[in-house]
Amino acid sequence: MAVQKGLFLIGTYDGLIYYRESEGLYCVRRVPAQVRQSAATKAAAAELGTKSRSASLIKNTFGSLIGGNKDKRMWGRLLTAVGKVMEADTSDAKGERCVQHGNLDFLLNFQFNAEADTRKVLKVQPETDLSRAGEAGFLLPELVPYRDIRVPKGTDTVVISCQAAVLDFTAFSSEVSTAGEIVIPYTDTLYPARYLHFDYELKTGNVVMLVFALDFFRKNGSFLMPIVDKRFQAAAIAGVEKCY
């Protein structure tokens, strides 16, 4: 906004720019309709737009899974991770780089809630298998809940939800599978290994991604009531692979 300096204004107001030249003369001109951009500036702007849309694609694709299992800074951290993937794209020029041509390892094990790392909440780590075209597998090894899962006070049941999706980072679209669930009674007895299988339509060049989340419940009669505690509600990208 404009600021009065004696009888003169300095700044921008109502489409006009008031300024003082080096010789002390006060002048006014219109705000330019367009700001000239160099090739480098245009490339940087295109890169930022692609990065933001790519991060939004991931967030929206798995939105129902990670809804309450993310922290306030998740968006910024996801943007950073996506940016690192794109920076590793050596086949395209800056401004044309794409997640699908970068290093997807920068997204592997991304924690949507930095306050609750899945690798600390769940001490027995799940395994993913994306090696077979059109199939995604999630294996939870056998465990003893009391020993191998960190939970908030009052927990009776732990639910691990998992979902696979195929993401097209050039068209910014995705196809997500039906979510699978592993329901674990929180006891001191051995819980056997569980396997979730997801089929997806193979689309060469796209990215298949598998995300899982942990939620906690207490019994209230015949119902399970969710326990909201950000120190334990975790979600992560467990597997990511380019479709060939």
Residue pLDDT tens, the chain, 244 long: 555 556 666 777 777 777 776 556 777 777 776 666 677 777 778 888 999 999 999 999 999 999 999 999 999 999 999 999 999 998 888 889 999 999 999 999 999 999 999 999 999 999 999 988 899 999 999 999 999 999 999 999 999 999 999 999 999 999 998 899 999 999 999 999 999 999 988 788 899 999 999 999 999 888 999 999 999 999 999 999 998 8
What are all long-range contacts of 202-206, with beta carbons under 8 Å and residues at least 24 apart? 202/133, 202/134, 202/166, 202/243, 203/166, 203/168, 203/243, 204/243, 204/244, 205/100, 205/170, 205/242, 205/243, 206/100, 206/166, 206/167, 206/168, 206/169, 206/242, 206/243
- pTM here is 0.82
Domain boundaries, the chain: 1-35, 39-242
Q: What letter would DSSP give residue 220?
A: E
Decide: helix, strand or coil at residue 130.
coil
Strands (E), 107-189: 127-129, 135-140, 157-168, 173-176, 180-185
